[in-house]
């Protein structure tokens, strides 16, 4: 009986550690997205400040390609939208993982209690 619970405990613990790793990864991803969004925000502000006839270039590989200002503005806005959506998705992912983690934690606590009781009996 004790062995069985011990095994189950091990298994749950592995699951728990896996989820914890996933959460760390997701948080890292979110931070990356956040900084991308901030950079895009700065670019958007800068593009908004430019005069109508200003020349804008985009770095593609090693060359600078001339871009239409309006096109550049819409492109940046679109990218910000996309990144915001990604951030929301990652947020949902993180909270789902956290819920999972909580459930696993409860399970672990229960199993630990059971183990303790069994040991007391024995």
Partner 1 sequence: MNIYFPFLFQELSVFQDSIQTLQIAKSKFVESGESLEKITPAIKGKTILVPLTGSMYVPGTVADVDNVVIDIGTGYYAQKDIDGGKDYFKRKVEFVAEQMEKINLLGMEKSKLRQAVGMIMEMKFQSELQAQKAPAS
CB of 36 or CB of 114, closer to partner 1: 36
Residue 50 binds partner 1 (CB under 8 A) = yes
The residue among 116, 112, 106, 114 whose CA lies nearest residue 16 is 106
**Interaction between residue 48 and partner 1 (CB under 8 A):** no
Cβ proximity of 10 and 115 under 8 Å: no
Regarding 46 and contact with partner 1 (CB under 8 A), the answer is: yes
13 binds partner 1, rule: CB under 8 A:
no
Q: Does residue number 87 form part of the binding site for partner 1 (CB under 8 A)?
A: no
Q: Which residues bind partner 1 (CB under 8 A)?
A: 36, 39-40, 42-43, 46-47, 50, 54-60, 64, 67, 72, 76, 79
């Amino acid at each position: 009986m004790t062995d069985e619970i011990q095994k189950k405990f091990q298994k749950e613990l592995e699951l728990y550690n896996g989820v914890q790793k996933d959460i760390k990864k997701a948080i890292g991803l979110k931070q990356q997205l956040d900084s991308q969004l901030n950079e895009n925000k700065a670019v958007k502000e800068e593009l908004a400040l430019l005069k109508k006839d200003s020349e804008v270039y985009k770095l593609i590989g090693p060359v600078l390609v001339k871009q239409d200002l309006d096109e550049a503005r819409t492109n940046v806005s679109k990218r910000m939208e996309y990144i915001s959506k990604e951030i929301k998705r990652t947020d949902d992912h993180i909270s789902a993982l956290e819920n999972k983690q909580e459930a696993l934690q409860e399970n672990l606590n229960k199993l630990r209690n059971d183990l303790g009781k069994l040991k007391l009996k024995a």
